[in-house]
Amino acid sequence: MSKKLTKREDDYSKWYNELVVKADLAENSAVRGCMVIKPYGYAIWEKMQAELDRMFKETGHENAYFPLFVPKSLFEAEEKNAEGFAKECAVVTHYRLQNDPDNPGKLRVDPEAKLEEELIVRPTSEAIIWNTYKGWIQSYRDLPLLINQWANVVRWEMRTRLFLRTAEFLWQEGHTAHATKKEALVEALQMQKVYAEFAENFMAMPVIKGAKSESERFAGADETFTIEALMQDGKALQAGTSHFLGQNFAKAFDVKYTSKEGKQEYVWATSWGVSTRLMGALIMTHSDDLGLVLPPNLAPIQVVIIPIHRNEEQLDAISVKVNEIVKELRKKGVSVKFDNRTTYKPGWKFAQYELKGVPLRIAMGPRDLEEGTLEVARRDTLEKKNISQNDVVSYVEKTLEEIQNNLFNKALDFRESHITEVNTFEEFKDVLENKAGFVSAHWDGTNETEEKIKDLTKATIRCIPLNNKIEEGKCVFTGEKSTQRVLFAKAY
């Protein structure tokens, strides 16, 4: 397989697809729209999971596991939610195969084994979970109920792309129940904040916190909070959502609690999720024409050490020194790999780890051994530097931190320079066509205008930023009165 990637400026979409496959992150499977997440890609996802899981637990949540299947009658109980997902559901109708009498050696669905009620493969778990919560919640003492689930879900998407939009994906879904509306709203906003902190501190990806317009809300939610990121091609990506569900599911599944005052009240709900889609966001935020660029806080390998040698004696001598360094670095919690394979040449290894986005590459040859030096190369800036072996631990620690910050700041600069205020629809279209990014514009607040703008430009309202400035203005499309700007963009 050629290691050469298509360049971003030549074909951004092709660059992305090639990168995902060549960097060993994921590939398409034999099942339409479903991906295989390869070990290197999965290792990044595991690091994401570990950090998010820690953050969820620190905010008082516990993990649990609910069934993969949702009986049709439960699925349809909350009408808006059902309507929102009905068109993209994998449906189990039978529970047995049998030998195909017409094709020896082949199987067919056993027509006798038809389910009385069809089972939907969960596209999201509100229905099955709220049906369960009914049994768990009786009194105010059972609240709040703060639960998260790590799971796979299936949405039968017609156009799929690795990580960004797949029929099956991995995610976490938090589902909480509260005694009051206020508490549920606070929870939904808290989880949006957790997501934003994760995105910024670990993915080095700046995000804008906002609320969705009505038409972009989760099916069944009263309010959807979102974190929106900007990719290098100027398209926005919704990286995580947190929903205030009001009492919609409590009413659909009759979940009430007895208050301290002895009254029966419906429960208030939230749900929130991020998925393997974050992998796509991570890749597109930092990577370049040479391959993946990973922020150190999520890199499975933070430092790779490659020996440069002509013979086995040299390799042995280098290995002695490298093993000391590996030990020192591991003591400091740095994840380091010494690639001493003799089946591959150094040049091949250099290209390989560049493609895989390893933040720091250290090379050590016989001359370094004599002089007590080594060469360190940064993946983000591609800078190389010779340093003393004695300084390696402190240099690595400092530089990993620098890389993490540098990636964030670079992405932030790009994002900041790609939020453009416009006051006319001509400007609006011009920015979308010639500059891309977020367009900050006044909007009259109607679904109708939003829909028309989308039809004309493919741009949607990504969010109404939280803590937005209130200012008088006129809708960029209708000229009607408006009190604040919202952010439009083309989006993934």
Residues binding a second copy (CB under 8 A): 27, 29-31, 34-39, 42-43, 45-46, 62-72, 74-76, 79, 82, 86-99, 105-107, 109, 118-121, 128, 131-132, 135, 141, 147, 151-152, 154, 156, 168, 170, 343
Q: Which is nearer to a second copy, 76 or 402 (CB)?
A: 76
Instruction: Write down the least CB distance from residue 466 to a second copy, Å.
Output: 31
Closer of 63 and 394 to a second copy (Cβ): 63
Which residue, 404, 419, 396, 407, is CA-closest to 489? 419
- Residue closer to a second copy by CB (options 30, 470) is 30
Nearer to a second copy, 20 or 128 (CB): 128
The answer to whether 78 and 252 are in contact (CB under 8 A) is: yes
Closest CA to 306 of 367, 357, 376, 390: 376
Distance CA 434, CA 432 (A): 6
Closest to a second copy by CB, 316 or 348: 348
Which residue's CB is nearer to a second copy, number 66 or number 338? 66
Q: How far is CA 367 from CA 35, 149, 346, 391, 393, in A?
A: 46, 53, 16, 17, 20
Question: Which residue's CB is nearer to a second copy, number 71 or number 365?
Answer: 71
Please tell me the distance from the alpha carbon of residue 489 to that of residue 127, in angstroms, as a whole number.
32
* Closest to a second copy by CB, 64 or 382: 64
Nearer to a second copy, 45 or 408 (CB): 45
> What's the longest Cα–Cα distance across the chain?
82
Taking the complex as a whole, the smallest distance from the CB of residue 93 to a second copy amounts, in Å, to 5
**Cα–Cα distance, 321 to 327 (Å, whole number):** 10
Q: How many CB atoms lie within 10 A of CB 414?
A: 16
Q: By CB neighbour count within 10 A (0-12 exposed, 13-18 middle, 19+ buried), where does 186 fall?
A: middle
283: number of Cβ within 10 Å: 26
Residue 144, preceding bond cis, omega within 30 degrees?
A: yes
Tally of CB atoms within 10 A around 111: 9
At CB < 8 A and 24+ separation, what contacts does 280-283 make? 280/16, 280/161, 280/162, 280/163, 280/164, 280/237, 280/492, 281/199, 281/203, 281/205, 281/229, 281/231, 281/237, 281/239, 282/44, 282/203, 282/205, 283/16, 283/19, 283/20, 283/25, 283/163
Shortest Cβ 431–a second copy spacing (Å): 37
CB 349 → a second copy: shortest distance, Å?
Answer: 14
How far apart are CB 35 and a second copy at their closest, in Å? Answer: 7
Conformational region of residue 254, where left means phi above 0, alpha means psi within -120 to 50, and beta covers everything else: left
Q: Whose Cβ is closer to a second copy: residue 147's or residue 304's?
A: 147
CB of 61 to a second copy, least distance (A): 9
Burial class (CB in 10 A: 0-12, 13-18, 19+), 29: middle
The three state secondary structure string of 284-321 is HHHCECCECCCCHHHCCCCEEEEECCCCHHHHHHHHHH
Task: Fill in the DSSP letter of residue 24.
Answer: T
Q: Which is nearer to a second copy, 154 or 199 (CB)?
A: 154
User: Three-state SS for 228?
Assistant: strand
Q: Shortest gap between Cβ of 479 and a second copy (angstroms)?
A: 38
Considering beta carbons, is residue 63 or 381 the nearer one to a second copy? 63
Task: For the CB of residue 486, give the shortest distance to a second copy in the complex, in Å.
Answer: 33
To a second copy, the closest distance from the beta carbon of 73 in angstroms equals: 8
Angle at 404 between CA 339 and CA 51, to 5 degrees: 85
CA 197 to chain centre: 13
Task: Report the candidate in 63, 37, 281, 56 with the shortest Cα–Cα distance to residue 170.
Answer: 37
Q: How far is the CB of 62 from a second copy (least distance, A)?
A: 4
CA distance 440 to 426: 13
User: Shortest approach of a second copy to residue 151 CB, angstroms?
Assistant: 8
CB of 392 to a second copy, least distance (A): 26
* Residue 131 or 285 having the CB closest to a second copy: 131
Q: How far is the CB of 155 from a second copy (least distance, A)?
A: 10
